[in-house]
Amino acid sequence: MQSSALLFISAVFLGALTIASAGNFYQDFDITWGDQRAKILNGGRDLTLSLDRVSGSGFKSKNEYLLGRIDMQIKLVPGNSAGTVTAYYLSSQGPTHDEIDFEFLGNLSGNPYTLHTNVFTQGKGNREQQFHLWFDPSLVRPHQGLPHLLHLFNNLESIGIPFPKNQPMRIYSSLWNADGWATMGGRVKTDWSNAPFTASFRNFNANACVQAPGSSSCTRPDPNQDSSWQDQALDASGRNRLRWVQQKYMVYNYCTDVKRFPQGLPPECKRSRFL
């Protein structure tokens, strides 16, 4: 499989996505920290994370996934979310881990959320991109915030760049305080009079290959699920949407930061068609 993306992660900020078999948070996830600040509700259909002055909270998936498509609906912290970070990512373990990051950096009311992305392969990251979201991800409105490809990481193993295809990864999410850097470089601090802050999750769906403990291969939990993602490629429409997002809403791209890389930009940047 020479796909541009190993695990397709879709974070959708609305109530209009139809999913044939949404997961159950009791069955699919474990709450990992935060005491009672993380709650599974409505028989496992919903999960909320909260943050107060004492602590944030988080959860992780019970399964590890090697190949597949992951969907989740997320409603971020509304109002003045400055200083808060809602992280949603996949990661393997160890010093040479693979990781695919989405971090939503809060902001003052009326200003857009910033989406911070990164990709780690074999323990190496430094592939950050940032986008200002063009909609309010704290509101649930039909047909708003439909998925767009934001961070494209091509398989360039042919020129010696590791690709995250061999290490199974769990899904993680957390809500935490990062007012030392999250909003305007840390100049805007968290207003704790608005606490507790809350982010909500629902309609998780993993059309993915699950890695069994101690196994060198993975299995599909439902063989009847659509497997079209295995052959999915970026078509002309997808390329146009990517260009549109990058041209209008990208505010940082490591592939253009020559000051950060005085010895030369990372080799994958020279092979990108979208910069």
- State the DSSP code for 35: G
Sheet holding 29-33, edge to edge: 29-33, 57-61, 170-177, 84-91, 99-105, 114-120, 129-132, 250-253
3-state helix, strand, coil in the chain (%, to 5): 15, 35, 50
Picking from 58-67, 69-78, 211-220, which range would have the lowest pLDDT averaged per residue? 211-220
Q: Tell me if 105 is assigned to some domain.
A: yes
Provide the pLDDT for residue 182: 95
Residue bearing the bigger pLDDT, 244 or 214: 244
CA distances from 136 to 189, 205, 214, 249 (A): 20, 23, 42, 14
Q: What is the CATH number of the domain that holds 56?
A: 2.60.120.200
Q: Tell me if 7 is assigned to some domain.
A: no
Q: Tell me if 83 is assigned to some domain.
A: yes
CA distance 25 to 27: 5
Say if residue 4's pLDDT is above 60.
Answer: no
- Cβ pair 114, 107 in contact under 8 A: yes
Mean pLDDT (the chain) is 84
Say if residue 36's pLDDT is above 90.
Answer: yes
- Cβ pair 167, 122 in contact under 8 A: no
Indicate which residues carry an active-site annotation.
99, 103
CA distance 110 to 106: 11
Q: Tell me if 14 is assigned to some domain.
A: no
Q: Give 207-242 pLDDT, tens digit per residue.
A: 888 877 766 566 655 666 666 655 566 678 878 888
Split into its structural domains, the chain has a count of: 1
* pTM score: 0.86
Q: Give 110-122 pLDDT, tens digit per residue.
A: 899 999 999 999 9
Q: Tell me if 6 is assigned to some domain.
A: no
Q: Tell me if 219 is assigned to some domain.
A: no
Q: Tell me if 45 is assigned to some domain.
A: yes
CA distance 132 to 113: 6
Q: Give 120-177 pLDDT, tens digit per residue.
A: 999 999 999 999 998 888 875 544 544 556 777 778 888 888 888 889 999 999 999 9
Domain that holds residue 260: 25-214+232-270
Those residues whose C-beta lies under 8 Å from the C-beta of residue 136, and which sit 6 or more positions away, are: 113, 144
The structure tokens 């959708």 sit at: 12
Q: Tell me if 204 is assigned to some domain.
A: yes
CA distances from 212 to 138, 169, 179, 220, 264 (A): 36, 12, 38, 10, 41
Say if residue 11's pLDDT is above 60.
Answer: no
